[in-house]
Amino acid sequence: MSFPETSCVLSVVIVVRNEAENILALLHDLSAQTLPKDLFEVIIVNDHSTDQTVALIEAYVAQAGFSLQLLHLHQNEAEASPKKAGIRKAIQVAQGTYVVTTDGDCRVLPGWLQVYYTFYQQHAAQLVSGAVTFAPANHLFAQVQVVEFASLIGSGAASLQLGNPNMCNGANLSYSKAAFEAVGGFTGTEHLASGDDEFLMHKIAQKYPHRVYFVKHPQSIVSTHPVPTLNKFFHQRKRWASKWSFYKDYKVKMLAFFIFLCNFGLLFAFLAYLFGGYSANAFLTQISIKCIVEFIFLSLVLNYLKKRKFIWWIPIVQTIYPLYVVFFGLLAHHKGVYDWKGRKLS
């Protein structure tokens, strides 16, 4: 597909809330894009920020060098999912043929938008997902998160490559405006605070089979910050897990159940071994096969993400991962509330 050389093709949409510490770094990254500035625009939607986020964005408009627009969510627009409401509001005024979403605390490489632009020229894509990783951090908890998050990104990428998309991340996602409108946008999931990325991907994949891709170019990788505390990690993963029981695609549901069952089975086998109901050889064989396959897979993902030094954290993640999956898998069926940037969401 070819595009006019002087018209906006990509509309970058960023919904922000209290990102004063991060937003300028992202705006500088967008100014440094190698894609010509007339081929993209940036639309930022302010979700009731109480810090200096709005003032910083407004001050940056004059020096941006690209089309930068700031919108504001009104109280009656936020609904149960401010993120979805913000994206929908931005798309209503977007001039680009394709939407590219990221978050206010992310960093992007100079060739990020050029990769998407070129990809759409070469493929008849309706949705393209990219990789997300964590910025360098020195503390132990952050380093473990790099590996754990790489497992999610790798699983999502593999499922897309195999033609059965299940996971993606809205911090690095793109889709055509036409596809968004054709599937009704977020209709049917507005009551869920999370899922602005995966529910939409599932809908687009059902309507446009074989038009959903993962982009592997190194310049497409987006970085963000690891969660600083266990409490925030819990609420983030609880928010993500809350959408699992609402998946409508049976293949996605079956895969989620299979992953849960594999990890639950490992815990059950361990308990059976402790109480004498399972032989040591059988348990060691089971755990060895799982760990070897996971180690190879995660090593490849971390190498792609330029995080090779974290490979030796894989065994630690493998030790706690079955507990993690089972805990949040069970929690996913509990209807509750969680904290997100000073608000209670359900």
Q: What is the pLDDT of residue 261?
A: 75
Average per-residue pLDDT for the chain:
87
Separation between Cα atoms, residue 237 and residue 226, nearest integer Å: 12
- Summarize the confidence of residues 151-170 as an average pLDDT: 90
Q: What are phi and psi of 22, to 5 degrees?
A: -120, -25
- Summarize the confidence of residues 230-257 as an average pLDDT: 69
Q: What are the start-end ranges of the E strands in the chain? A: 10-16, 40-46, 67-72, 98-103, 127-129, 132-134, 173-176, 212-214, 222-224, 338-340, 343-345
Q: 239: pLDDT confidence band, cut at 50, 70 and 90?
A: confident
Q: What are phi and psi of 129, to 5 degrees?
A: -105, 145
Q: 329: pLDDT confidence band, cut at 50, 70 and 90?
A: confident
pLDDT at 274 over 60: yes
Helices 314-331 and 250-274 pack at an angle, to 10 degrees, of 110
Q: What are phi and psi of 251, to 5 degrees?
A: -65, -40
Q: What is the pLDDT of residue 6?
A: 55
217, two tokens: 């170019």
Residue 326 CA to chain centroid, in angstroms?
Answer: 21
- Among the listed residues 27, 126, 146, the one whose alpha carbon sits nearest the alpha carbon of residue 154: 146
- Among the listed residues 287, 244, 80, the one whose alpha carbon sits nearest the alpha carbon of residue 152: 244
Q: What is the pLDDT of residue 278?
A: 77
Separation between Cα atoms, residue 286 and residue 295, nearest integer Å: 14
Q: What is the pLDDT of residue 224?
A: 95
Q: Note the pTM of the prediction, 2 decimals.
A: 0.87
Q: What is the pLDDT of residue 253?
A: 61
Q: What is the pLDDT of residue 164?
A: 86
Percentage with pLDDT > 90 across the chain: 54
